[in-house]
Amino acid sequence: MGDSAGQYGLKGRWVRSRKITFADKNSTKAILDVPAKTFIPPYGVTIIIPTLFDGGTPVIDIGDGADPNGWIIQADITATSAGTYSGTETNTAHYAATGKYYDSADTIDAVLPDEAITAGEAFVMAYMVDVSDVIDD
């Protein structure tokens, strides 16, 4: 039968977002484009914080147009500690356990609601699988 990539032409890839910085505070920023007919598997979105966020109450949510914290809810991120963070079912990041199929194009968004943030930067990695060949089969 062969492997699924050879059989169905699945093309998965890790995609890195633009940098998220303290300058993005008090806003929602589209940080990754998600093409139509894309599947992001469970736990397929991770935030990486190399430079600690500081000032005010630094919190971050990662979601999309349908759910602003669907991938990673702020309770799963310690923005004042360097590291990598993914969403969990416990804290209701809805897509963490099931992944999400995007029938139409969308964006992965970062929400930084506190306007008092004075430092910090991060970026998001997402594993995207083009399933257009499978869906149209």
- The pLDDT value recorded for residue 4 is 45
Q: Enumerate domains of the chain plus CATH numbers.
A: 12-131 (2.60.120)
Distance CA 86, CA 90 (A): 12
Distance CA 112, CA 58 (A): 7
Beta strands at 83-86 and 38-40: parallel, antiparallel or unpaired? unpaired
- The pLDDT value recorded for residue 7 is 52
pLDDT in tens, 23-50: 998 999 999 999 999 999 998 999 999 9
- The pLDDT value recorded for residue 124 is 95
Assess contact for 48 and 125: CB atoms under 8 A. Answer: yes
- The pLDDT value recorded for residue 50 is 94
E-state strands within the chain: 11-16, 20-21, 27-34, 38-40, 45-54, 61-64, 83-86, 100-102, 106-112, 119-130
Distance CA 56, CA 76 (A): 18
- The pLDDT value recorded for residue 2 is 42
